[in-house]
Amino acid sequence: MPGYAIKLLTVRIADVDYRLWVLADKQQFADADGAAARTGISSANWPLFGQLWPAGAVLATYLAGLPMAGRHILEIGCGMGLSSLLLQRRGGDITASDQHPLAAAFLARNCAENGLPPIPFVAAGWGDTAATALGRFDLIVASDILYERGHADAVAAFLHQHAAAVCEFILTDPGRGQAPRLCKALLLQGYAYTERRLAFASAETAPFKGRLLHFTRRLPEFWPVGAR
């Protein structure tokens, strides 16, 4: 990645080692072509996508225990793509998405590093016009995406547009305060959910409280023609 120092991590999930190229630290910012300004990402937030955060490892571990073959899956805010790599390996029809301009290059490199075929990728935020072409999915997954005020409403609107009539949404959230608002919004869309309280931790941080939210929905048969 020109302009960036990167390092290789090995993460073991369900007895499989995944090798991930990530940013070597959280302080890097190189934006010669102005991509940060165009996407509205500040220099302080710019490198945060390039780490494997505890919530990402928790999500991948949970997904490793679920059947995936034949599922039409979308990961939003994929970052380094650990969950997408796992889902690809396990036979899911996976599409990855992230608004960060560097995410596609890291995902492609990590697919190659793990001997996996390229994963389809859409560069878009939750409200971007580019996201409208995604279609609908029967499983949508994400980790640590509710980190600013307004994100809960944006994610709920995104799910309304891209969730199939029968859909699951799985989210790992480290407890940034926005999850209750999202839960309330998704209940209005016909979802039920279960919640697991977990301790998220990494080599750099002490464990802190988080939750794994598993939403499920089955809408009536009059769901519009053409929806998955």
Query: In this predicted structure, what is the pLDDT of residue 168?
Result: 96
- Span of 61-70, 89-98, 120-129, 161-170 with lowest mean pLDDT: 120-129
Would residue 207 count as lying in a domain? yes
Q: pLDDT (tens digit, 9 = 90+) per residue, 42-70? A: 777 777 888 998 899 999 999 999 988 88
Total domain count for the chain? 1
**For residues 140-162, average pLDDT:** 91
Q: Could you tell me the CATH number of the domain that includes residue 148?
A: 3.40.50.150
Q: At 221, which amino acid appears?
A: E
Please give the mean pLDDT across all residues of the chain: 87
Whether the predicted pLDDT of 227 surpasses 60: no
Query: Do 116 and 88 contact (CB within 8 A), yes or no?
Result: yes
Separation of alpha carbons 116 and 228, rounded Å: 26
Would residue 37 count as lying in a domain? no
Would residue 81 count as lying in a domain? yes
Q: pLDDT (tens digit, 9 = 90+) per residue, 182-225? A: 999 999 999 999 998 877 765 455 556 789 999 999 887 544 54
Query: In this predicted structure, what is the pLDDT of residue 15?
Result: 94
Query: Do 78 and 57 contact (CB within 8 A), yes or no?
Result: no
Would residue 32 count as lying in a domain? no
Helix H segments across 68-150?
82-89, 103-113
Structural domain including 157 reads: 51-218
| Extended beta strands in 24-152, E state | 72-76, 93-98, 121-123, 137-143
Query: Do 95 and 119 contact (CB within 8 A), yes or no?
Result: yes
Would residue 182 count as lying in a domain? yes
What does the DSSP 8-state code read for residue 120?
P
Would residue 145 count as lying in a domain? yes
Please state the pTM of the whole predicted model. 0.89
Would residue 14 count as lying in a domain? no
**For residues 155-174, average pLDDT:** 93
**Exposure of 53 in the CB half-sphere (CA atoms within 13 A):** 21
Separation of alpha carbons 124 and 134, rounded Å: 10
- Do β-strands 16-23 and 6-13 pair in parallel, antiparallel, or remain unpaired? antiparallel
Whether the predicted pLDDT of 2 surpasses 70: no
Whether the predicted pLDDT of 31 surpasses 50: yes
Instruction: Label residue 131 by pLDDT band (50, 70, 90).
Output: low
Would residue 172 count as lying in a domain? yes
Separation of alpha carbons 57 and 12, rounded Å: 9
Whether the predicted pLDDT of 228 surpasses 50: no
Q: What whole-number percentage of the chain has pLDDT above 70?
A: 86
